[in-house]
């Protein structure tokens, strides 16, 4: 089953790229139609921006995402316990040793990134390293190593890149709407096209407003099931379900991260870094921790 899931993740990478590029194209065409009087020009600009983001993340994903989250790389001499746990889990999972990073933050969190196991990295907050005992830390690191082994990180990395591009273009379009208005002009001798122009105007505005939400929903849809699989895979690596259950219980009680976390990279973390509540909780990129614990107890 595990190898089938890995193969499925690789196939879904292609589908994910296509879906995100469709969203990119839609918002680019909308911005082009409203402000350039040329939807094709907007479409091409959006696809170029998206391609640059995607290629940059594929080849430099580790450095880009670690920089986004203010993570610094550490050595075995600086943090021997943490480093050697990552080393042990990588050895058990039979993947190359990932780079090891730490984030100066009192909250309890961790994530993995990279486009493949050969250039992957694991990061943990100082709060997590201070609070977790060895068994719990092995569970968390095993979870992140499982994301690497299962090729979840490739999907997540591409999602971060394209969601960031969609948010950027939407933001540009929104600011142009707020400060300058659209450049669409109705010609007096084109009365017959008024209704079509109104429909296209409404669709363009909706694309600009809703595209970031759509991108978030795509990330949400691909993220939740991966977390269940990574939890189970961590138990497979550690042979210690109680360690993972105990770690999740502590993660559930964690405070939000104090440093700003980009919305595009929030889905990478093992625990929701913003601790959303109310209406925003409907858009969790992770399943409830209580559900994750219950699944492990049933194993």
Q: What are phi and psi of 103, to 5 degrees?
A: -115, 125
The 10 Å CB-count burial string (b at 16+, else e) for 167-201 is bbbbebbeebbeeeebeeeeeeeeeeeeeeeeebe
227 known member of a binding site: yes
Find all residues with CB under 8 Å of 128, minimum gap 6, and list them. 107, 108, 109, 110, 137, 140
Q: Which residue has the tokens 């964690």?
A: 254
What is 167-197 written as a DSSP string? HHHHHHHHHHHHHT-------TT-GGGHHHH
Contact status, residue 93 vs residue 149, Cβ threshold 8 Å? yes
Contact status, residue 138 vs residue 238, Cβ threshold 8 Å? yes
Helix axes 194-238, 2-31, angle to 10 degrees: 160
286 known member of a binding site: no
Q: Report the distance separating Cα 279 and Cα 287, nearest Å.
A: 15
What residues act catalytically? 144
138 known member of a binding site: no
Joined together, the tokens standing for residue 122 give: 């694991």
Q: Please choose, from the candidates 251, 234, 270, 268, the residue with its C-alpha nearest in 3D space to the C-alpha of residue 88.
A: 234
Binding residues for Zn(2+): 143, 147, 227
């Amino acid at each position: 089953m595990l190898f089938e899931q890995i193969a499925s993740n690789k196939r879904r990478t292609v589908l994910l790229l296509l879906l995100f590029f469709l969203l990119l194209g839609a918002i680019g065409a909308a911005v082009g139609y409203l402000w350039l009087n040329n939807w094709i020009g907007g479409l091409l600009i959006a696809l170029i921006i998206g391609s640059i983001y995607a290629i940059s993340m594929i080849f430099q994903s580790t450095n880009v995402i670690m920089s986004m989250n203010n993570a610094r790389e550490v050595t075995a001499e600086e943090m021997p316990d943490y480093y050697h746990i990552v080393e042990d889990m990588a050895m058990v999972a039979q993947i190359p040793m990932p780079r090891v990073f730490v984030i100066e933050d009192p909250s309890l969190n961790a994530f993995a990134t990279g486009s493949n196991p050969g250039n992957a990295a694991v990061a943990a907050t100082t709060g997590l390293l201070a609070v977790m005992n060895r068994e719990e830390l092995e569970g968390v690191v095993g979870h992140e190593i499982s994301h690497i082994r299962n090729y979840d990180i490739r999907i997540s990395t591409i999602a971060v890149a394209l969601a960031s591009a969609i948010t950027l273009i939407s933001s540009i379009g929104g600011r142009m709407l707020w400060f300058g208005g659209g450049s669409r002009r109705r010609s007096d001798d084109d009365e017959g096209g008024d209704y079509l122009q109104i429909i296209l105007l409404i669709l363009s505005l909706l694309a600009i407003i809703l595209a970031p939400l759509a991108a978030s929903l795509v990330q949400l849809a691909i993220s939740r099931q991966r977390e269940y699989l990574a939890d189970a895979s961590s138990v497979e690596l550690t042979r210690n379900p109680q360690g993972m259950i105990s770690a999740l219980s502590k993660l559930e009680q964690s405070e939000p991260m104090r440093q700003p976390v980009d919305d595009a990279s929030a889905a990478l973390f093992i625990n929701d870094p913003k601790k959303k509540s109310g209406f925003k909780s409907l858009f969790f990129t992770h399943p409830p921790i209580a559900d994750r614990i219950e699944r492990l107890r049933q194993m």
